[in-house]
Chains A and B, each alone.
Chain A
């Protein structure tokens, strides 16, 4: 009897549906990814959002202009100062309000410090994504948070608040900088600069990280523009767009800095962009400390009665470069003491949109690396 030819039979076990999140260690809060898996390979991924929706935009319609800035600091809870800064820049544009130079520089100072702190949080949590809470990831996380802690300590000394600093006012900055604080900020910057090689050694120099992130989650420049991603994700895909350069605000027209760009578009490129941005922020902070102009820090003293402070009728849009990208505020005013309508363009929301396009074909482990490299903050996504 002739032997039957050997046949390889691949059995199709079908697809496995999996809800990754909203309770999952690596979805950076309460994102829900509805996955369809074949084995461990992702066939489709659909981000589900809204678990952290707090109705901030609607809330804005019932609070006065003066009361609103602190509210937005709760949106992106990793880099709070950018939210209120974006709102203040938009409101100033709406009202034609001039910001004194010193005030503008001080706002930029806090913003750049917050950018460093935010990128450190990002690196640490990305370490958790890649290395796990029960492994080397936690070590990276702790080292990042050690540096971030110093920034928060400095902010506490400056503003009395560690995190939601509330420095930004419509028309200036709330807190002035003392010479002692300027000195300690210089020491702080030296410390951050010295820590970057160490952090890089734990992350970028690790062949495990390189193997896990190179070529993973590649976002082509075309896709990036079609979907509208922004910030370090966009710059990781080879497009040199930075609001600080494209539409400068506050002190940026007077400061020198480079915009790091990578062409590869993968998770590792986004990592490199953020690491270089930390160093650029250090450079910016040093320039601000060196050249801080003298003078008043705000033009409009906040009024005790919010209803007494009005902005003229009209519309205005202004964007700032937050740690996550273009953070825009679109204001519509009917000339009363509060916004008629307000819309926030959230960078995290824009960046999340690439997931359905990029995720198919990745492994579950890669998906975690991809999501972490987008650096979404769910408070920013859902608002």
Chain B
């Protein structure tokens, strides 16, 4: 019975998540178009081209699936899966209602981060396995980015965990009842949110910190050689990763499923995640790209010390209020 419940829940969460991910591409194109004084997708499906994501998926499925002759077959074929699965796993950990998550784990916050960073393996496998100079450079960059930006991201998330005294995401949400969202915690909340947001841009590979996929330098980075379904998987993986991180930020900083009762909890979670996603898009479509060494410098000289100081401050408060 427990197994059946988990199965039904995971199918529901996965289905919803994948649908939203598909429509994130449409949302992104619409939002970007607004920034550009354009209209965006319009003709495929009335109104406003709402069938465009479906058409895109269909197109990618019927495209030829190529593999470069000198590519490492195993790594090349495995990489898209390695990217998508960890990204989707994150959704299983997000609490949808009090006590309701596909996987309710006492250390779900840490589990989220641990599994989420496995996506790096997929990106590196793709870059290394493609036998392409651009993909290789992108793979090297992705390792450098992940190694440095994981640290401030975790440090930023430790602050709410420290204040709540738990690593369980549901506990973190419960601590924020009554509008006491962590982002409203004076100084601590805002600093850790900004640090998390910047780290998320780098992790999810969004401009201005999208050096891994910097297409004006590296064409398409690690997925240069991919086509068809495998490219679609990378694409879905990237958006799923972003959405999962937005969901995590909504859960940790914005009270997750909490909200006025006229909407059910999961809807609030989705709405908050989407709001964060639009914020990411706003940043993404406004700034030029930072150079790779400047991205790393930003982390080591600014984000990392800031996150560390913030954590120390939080520890101080946590001890005093105990």
**Given A24-B219, A142-B37, do A131 and B294 touch, yes or no (CB 8 Å)?**
no
CA distance A138 to B294 in the complex (A): 21
Q: Is the interface of B mostly helix, strand, loop or mixed?
A: loop
Judged by a CB distance under 8 angstroms, whether B210 is at the interface is yes
Which residue of B has the minimal Cβ distance to A125?
Answer: B216
Whether the Cβ atoms of A138 and B285 lie closer than 8 Å is yes
**Given A25-B219, A134-B215, do A366 and B291 touch, yes or no (CB 8 Å)?**
yes
What residues of B have a CB within 8 angstroms of the CB of A206 in the complex?
Answer: 287-288
Whether the Cβ atoms of B207 and A130 lie closer than 8 Å is no
CB distance from B134 to the nearest CB of A (A): 7
Whether the Cβ atoms of B37 and A208 lie closer than 8 Å is no
Judged by a CB distance under 8 angstroms, whether A127 is at the interface is yes
CB distance from A362 to the nearest CB of B (A): 10
CA distance A142 to B38 in the complex (A): 9
Judged by a CB distance under 8 angstroms, whether B75 is at the interface is no
What residues of B have a CB within 8 angstroms of the CB of A132 in the complex?
Answer: 207, 210, 214-216, 289
Judged by a CB distance under 8 angstroms, whether A110 is at the interface is no
Q: Report A116-154 CB contacts with B as 1/0, cut-off 8 Å.
A: 000000000001111111111111101100100000000
| Complex partner residue of A133 from B133, B215, B218, CB under 8 angstroms | B215
CA distance A368 to B292 in the complex (A): 13
Whether the Cβ atoms of B288 and A209 lie closer than 8 Å is yes
Judged by a CB distance under 8 angstroms, whether B284 is at the interface is yes
Judged by a CB distance under 8 angstroms, whether A316 is at the interface is no
Judged by a CB distance under 8 angstroms, whether B32 is at the interface is yes
Judged by a CB distance under 8 angstroms, whether B208 is at the interface is yes
CB distance from A269 to the nearest CB of B (A): 18
Whether the Cβ atoms of A134 and B213 lie closer than 8 Å is yes
Whether the Cβ atoms of A131 and B289 lie closer than 8 Å is yes
CA distance A178 to B133 in the complex (A): 56
What residues of A have a CB within 8 angstroms of the CB of B292 in the complex?
Answer: 40, 363, 365
Which residue of B has the minimal Cβ distance to A39?
Answer: B140
Whether the Cβ atoms of B287 and A212 lie closer than 8 Å is no
**A145-193: which have CB < 8 Å to B?**
146
Whether the Cβ atoms of B137 and A136 lie closer than 8 Å is no
Interface size bucket, B side?
20 to 34
Whether the Cβ atoms of A212 and B217 lie closer than 8 Å is no
Judged by a CB distance under 8 angstroms, whether B290 is at the interface is yes
Which residue of A has the minimal Cβ distance to B294?
Answer: A211
Judged by a CB distance under 8 angstroms, whether A281 is at the interface is no
Judged by a CB distance under 8 angstroms, whether A364 is at the interface is yes
CB distance from A203 to the nearest CB of B (A): 8
What residues of A have a CB within 8 angstroms of the CB of B32 in the complex?
Answer: 138
Q: Report B195-219 CB contacts with A as 1/0, cut-off 8 Å.
A: 0000000000011101101111111
Judged by a CB distance under 8 angstroms, whether A18 is at the interface is yes
Judged by a CB distance under 8 angstroms, whether B19 is at the interface is no
What residues of B have a CB within 8 angstroms of the CB of A129 in the complex?
Answer: 216
Whether the Cβ atoms of A130 and B289 lie closer than 8 Å is yes
CA distance A132 to B293 in the complex (A): 17
CA distance A365 to B296 in the complex (A): 14
**Given A136-B286, A363-B293, A365-B292, do A18 and B215 touch, yes or no (CB 8 Å)?**
no
Which residue of B has the minimal Cβ distance to A24?
Answer: B219
Q: Report A342-375 CB contacts with B as 1/0, cut-off 8 Å.
A: 0000000000000000000001111010000000
Judged by a CB distance under 8 angstroms, whether B36 is at the interface is yes
CA distance A145 to B297 in the complex (A): 34
Whether the Cβ atoms of B36 and A212 lie closer than 8 Å is no
Judged by a CB distance under 8 angstroms, whether B35 is at the interface is yes
CA distance A135 to B207 in the complex (A): 5
Whether the Cβ atoms of A212 and B288 lie closer than 8 Å is yes
Whether the Cβ atoms of B288 and A137 lie closer than 8 Å is yes
CA distance A37 to B137 in the complex (A): 10
**A1-49: which have CB < 8 Å to B?**
16-18, 24-26, 37, 39-40
What residues of A have a CB within 8 angstroms of the CB of B294 in the complex?
Answer: 211-212
**B215-249: which have CB < 8 Å to A?**
215-219
Q: Which of A127, A132, A146 has the most CB of B within 10 A?
A: A132
What residues of B have a CB within 8 angstroms of the CB of A17 in the complex?
Answer: 133
What residues of A have a CB within 8 angstroms of the CB of B285 in the complex?
Answer: 135-136, 138-139
What residues of B have a CB within 8 angstroms of the CB of A138 in the complex?
Answer: 32, 36, 285
What residues of B have a CB within 8 angstroms of the CB of A18 in the complex?
Answer: 133-134
What residues of B have a CB within 8 angstroms of the CB of A366 in the complex?
Answer: 291
Whether the Cβ atoms of A130 and B287 lie closer than 8 Å is no
CA distance A17 to B136 in the complex (A): 12
Whether the Cβ atoms of A134 and B210 lie closer than 8 Å is yes
What residues of B have a CB within 8 angstroms of the CB of A135 in the complex?
Answer: 206-208, 210, 284-285, 287-289
CA distance A25 to B214 in the complex (A): 10
CA distance A102 to B213 in the complex (A): 53
Which residue of A has the minimal Cβ distance to B213?
Answer: A134
Q: Which of A139, A203, A363 has the most CB of B within 10 A?
A: A139
Whether the Cβ atoms of B207 and A365 lie closer than 8 Å is no
Whether the Cβ atoms of B133 and A365 lie closer than 8 Å is no
| Complex partner residue of A137 from B133, B136, B216, B293, CB under 8 angstroms | B216
CA distance A136 to B290 in the complex (A): 11
**B253-270: which have CB < 8 Å to A?**
none
What residues of B have a CB within 8 angstroms of the CB of A203 in the complex?
Answer: 288
What residues of B have a CB within 8 angstroms of the CB of A130 in the complex?
Answer: 216, 288-289
Which residue of B has the minimal Cβ distance to A132?
Answer: B216
Q: Report B287-312 CB contacts with A as 1/0, cut-off 8 Å.
A: 11111111000000000000000000
Whether the Cβ atoms of A16 and B293 lie closer than 8 Å is no
Binding site for B on A (CB under 8 A): 16-18, 24-26, 37, 39-40, 127-140, 142-143, 146, 203, 206, 208-209, 211-212, 363-366, 368
Q: List 6 A-B contacts (CB under 8 A).
A: A128-B216, A132-B215, A134-B213, A136-B288, A208-B289, A208-B290
